[in-house]
Structure 1
Amino acid sequence: MLKYYLYHTGQISTSVHPFVKREFSRQLKPPHPLRKTDFVLMPYIKSSNLRATYQILNTLVPYVLLWLLAVKAASISLWLLPPIIALLILFSLRCFSLMHDCGHYSLFRSKSMNRIMGFLLGVINAIPQYAWSRDHAYHHKTNGDWERYRGVADFLSTEEFSKLDPFKQRLYEVLRHPLMAIPGGFFYLVIKPRLVLIMGVYDFIHHVFTDLKQGSGFNLGQTVSAHQSKHWQSAAEFWDLLFNNICVVGVWIFLSNLWGFGLFWSIYSITLSCSATIFIWIFFVQHIFEGAYAHKTAGWNYVLGAVQGSSYLELPAVLRWFTADISYHTIHHLSERIPNYHLAACHRENCHLLSDVKTLRITNLLDCSQFLLWDAASERLVSIKDIEDRSIEG
């Protein structure tokens, strides 16, 4: 009672030692629904170019050296490759994690440095960083609002699912099985960005020929400005996609000729597929779980979306390093401008407000993977089995 009185009358700020004040504050929850201002976030929204540069170096240098070591080891014995590939997968995962920070403009102080390094890390992982970051920013703006954002795998509502025929329902379930993340990860990184560019260019050429057929006079400048592509949302996104493809395909050709097509693609395919799979799994359990906040747009709350719509993922210290502390996901959702190297400290500072956060482990993936549908009526995630049981009871 004394702590509550001191805290809410303000006397704690002047009459007790700062350490005691901090300890009292940690033990108290605000007497109202959580607001973003309840959290101590601002001191941690401070990027450091020195720490960012160190993180880039301690990631890219080992990654390059591991590739050289893999090629050397392959010339001696293929049995030497598995541990090297395992490390390549982990460093590829860290490259993606740092690219993620660059997309939020939090790794470096400078926006231009984040864009440059984000582009480079995107080339390493074969994905155009600019478009990925835009999509990811939308996820942050709508997390927990299941009318606007349908999770990592475009989940259906129970009503939409019930309208599918049995074959499509089964296909829906199979395509969202955790093991499908392996071919899905390869497609997402290696194939999709190339396919998007090809389809986008094809649509533009089709648009040009349509203008020519109309015979109303062809003006290239007007045609370009009038063309609205469904494959990219801005000119900046197009140029990022184009240059990413040029760099990625150029690297593929160069290294295939240098080290041999079979060796390069064997290591490269395994590395990207596995690192993408791990990241998909991590992202999945951080947002899809029993009791996750899954609201309609009306009445949706950003803070609750962060606190109850994302989990805290318990990872071993080594995996926390390779994933750049993304396991502190609630704090990341409360403020994406906090760089990864401040997330743990910010989490500790605000842990007294995070008792409602779901704690999970990567071993919970199979349990979480059953929640494939959004029930709009109850505003929660449900399993397909739940729907089948309801229909039997009905």
Structure 2
Amino acid sequence: MDKENNRNENWRKIIAPYMRPDVKRSVWQVINTIVPFFLLWYLAYLSLSVSYWLTLVPVCLAAGLLVRIFIIFHDCCHGSFFPNRKANEVLGTLTGILTCCPFHQWRHSHSVHHATSGNLDRHGTGDIWTLTVEEYLALPRLKRMAYRMYRNPLVMFGLGPTYLFLIEYRFNRKGARRKERMNTYITNLGIAAVAGLLCWSIGWKEFLLIQGPIFLISGLAGVWLFYVQHQFEGTYFEKDEKWDYVEAALRGSSFYKLPKILHWFTGNIGFHHIHHLSPRVPNYYLHHVHKKNTMFQSVNSITLLSSLKSLNFRIWDENRKKLMGFGYIKRFLKAEENRTTG
């Protein structure tokens, strides 16, 4: 117990100086992210008269910037982008319109995710739907099929982002309070106003030719990042009585080693173990904290190549403490049959 208390006290001391946002850095990040996003969007429109293949160049860059805008939105939801709560709410709502995410609704579900990540008894809100082998086998046939479809990469990274950002986020969750409901309505009206204004000014076809691929590319990248942040080889899941916050952060949240340019576009969210230790650390400080102590550097890391293995993970086996593919279910059932009959 003393060792655990010392460890907790140690990481808190290291992280504490980085939990205060720097207003100048935050403002500069808004400028170097949102301004070029709008410029690239306009450049994409101008290039339509030349060649659509040429248009895809600024479109891809704009999609990367939209991921970075989402990280700003994400920090605002944690109250870590500005010292002022109202400033976080205003910027979070505006960036929520750009990313199709209602600020208050997303803040609630994401807070639950942080409080329960890796906890097998409390999972299901704000995270990737992940069942244990026993939970899966206890489901009726139709729900098993639904889970298999959900975990299919074509659904998760193809249909998933479209459903999530365009449909699910347009509706309030059950039990949402008035302020949260109103924020969702404001976000929906903002999205409709921006889309309507652009369709009126440049034409709906032109709007779709530009915003369509920006949305699809950034949505796929965003869902992929969220997926590999917790669905990787060596990740952490435990029952409530054994679950530990620090272990869930350091072992159950990935350190995604990306090229520097991709760390920039993704707002350093690859240092996800640091983010889960303290979501009050702004994205621009995450890599500094990572370098501060060997405890943060000794975690399991994944690369662009090794992260592709995560596509094979479907279900959590409590006996092996590993994510497995669906093919493991047959082997598990056969082993259980042999055990009971033998």
Structure 1 residues 369-378 or 155-164, which shifts more?
A: 369-378
- Contact kept, 8 Å, 2:290 with 2:297, in 1: the verdict is no
3-state SS of paired residue (2:92) = helix
Separation of aligned partners in 2, 1:89 and 1:236: 30
Equivalenced residue count is 331
Judged with a 3 Å threshold, the aligned counterparts in structure 2 of structure 1 residues 381 and 85 are, in CA distance, closer, same or farther, namely same
Query: Please, which of 85, 105, 109 is the counterpart of residue 135 of structure 1?
Result: 109
Separation of aligned partners in 2, 1:316 and 1:375: 32
**2:250 matches 1:301:** no
Relative CO higher for 1 or 2, CA cutoff 8 Å, sep ≥ 6?
1
**Unmatched 5+ stretches in structure 1:** 1-29, 198-229
Structure 1 residues 367-376 or 160-169, which shifts more?
A: 160-169
1:179 is displaced (CA, Å) by 3.1
Query: Please, which of 328, 331, 336 is the counterpart of residue 271 of structure 2?
Result: 328
Judged with a 3 Å threshold, the aligned counterparts in structure 2 of structure 1 residues 365 and 152 are, in CA distance, closer, same or farther, namely farther
- Contact kept, 8 Å, 1:295 with 1:380, in 2: the verdict is no
**2:290 matches 1:315:** no
1:376 is displaced (CA, Å) by 4.3
1:146-295 equivalences under 5 Å are 146-150=120-124, 152-164=127-139, 169-180=144-155, 181-194=157-170, 196=171, 230-295=173-238
**2:301 matches 1:359:** yes
Query: Please, which of 346, 362, 372 is the counterpart of residue 289 of structure 2?
Result: 346
Report what 1:88 is aligned to. 62
Separation of aligned partners in 2, 1:96 and 1:147: 29
- Contact kept, 8 Å, 1:183 with 1:273, in 2: the verdict is no
Query: Please, which of 371, 385, 388 is the counterpart of residue 313 of structure 2?
Result: 371
Report what 1:32 is aligned to. 3
Judged with a 3 Å threshold, the aligned counterparts in structure 2 of structure 1 residues 335 and 124 are, in CA distance, closer, same or farther, namely same
Report what 2:340 is aligned to. none
- Contact kept, 8 Å, 2:77 with 2:103, in 1: the verdict is yes
Separation of aligned partners in 1, 2:146 and 2:233: 23
- Contact kept, 8 Å, 1:73 with 1:81, in 2: the verdict is yes
1:378 is displaced (CA, Å) by 5.4
Counting aligned pairs with the same residue, the percent is 31
1:177 is displaced (CA, Å) by 2.5
Which residue type is aligned with residue 324 of structure 1? G
3-state SS of paired residue (1:269) = helix
Separation of aligned partners in 2, 1:232 and 1:57: 36
Query: Please, which of 79, 82, 105 is the counterpart of residue 79 of structure 2?
Result: 105
1:48 is displaced (CA, Å) by 1.0
3-state SS of paired residue (1:162) = helix
- Contact kept, 8 Å, 1:314 with 1:327, in 2: the verdict is yes
Report what 2:20 is aligned to. 46
1:54-65 equivalences under 5 Å are 54-65=28-39
Judged with a 3 Å threshold, the aligned counterparts in structure 2 of structure 1 residues 96 and 355 are, in CA distance, closer, same or farther, namely closer
- Contact kept, 8 Å, 1:189 with 1:272, in 2: the verdict is no
**Structure 2 length-normalised TM:** 0.90
- Contact kept, 8 Å, 1:144 with 1:309, in 2: the verdict is yes
1:387 is displaced (CA, Å) by 2.1
Judged with a 3 Å threshold, the aligned counterparts in structure 2 of structure 1 residues 364 and 31 are, in CA distance, closer, same or farther, namely farther
Which residue type is aligned with residue 70 of structure 1? A
Separation of aligned partners in 1, 2:68 and 2:10: 31
Separation of aligned partners in 1, 2:100 and 2:232: 30
- Contact kept, 8 Å, 2:274 with 2:296, in 1: the verdict is no
1:231 is displaced (CA, Å) by 3.3
3-state SS of paired residue (2:57) = helix
Tell me the C-alpha RMSD between the 2 structures. 2.1
1:182 is displaced (CA, Å) by 2.3
- Contact kept, 8 Å, 1:310 with 1:358, in 2: the verdict is no
**Unmatched 5+ stretches in structure 2:** 338-342
- Contact kept, 8 Å, 1:308 with 1:356, in 2: the verdict is no
Which has the higher Rg, Structure 1 or Structure 2? 1
Separation of aligned partners in 1, 2:279 and 2:142: 40
Judged with a 3 Å threshold, the aligned counterparts in structure 2 of structure 1 residues 392 and 366 are, in CA distance, closer, same or farther, namely farther
**Structure 1 length-normalised TM:** 0.79
Which residue type is aligned with residue 326 of structure 1? I
Separation of aligned partners in 2, 1:275 and 1:249: 19
3-state SS of paired residue (2:305) = helix
3-state SS of paired residue (1:308) = helix
Separation of aligned partners in 2, 1:329 and 1:189: 22
1:281 is displaced (CA, Å) by 1.0
- Contact kept, 8 Å, 1:158 with 1:376, in 2: the verdict is yes
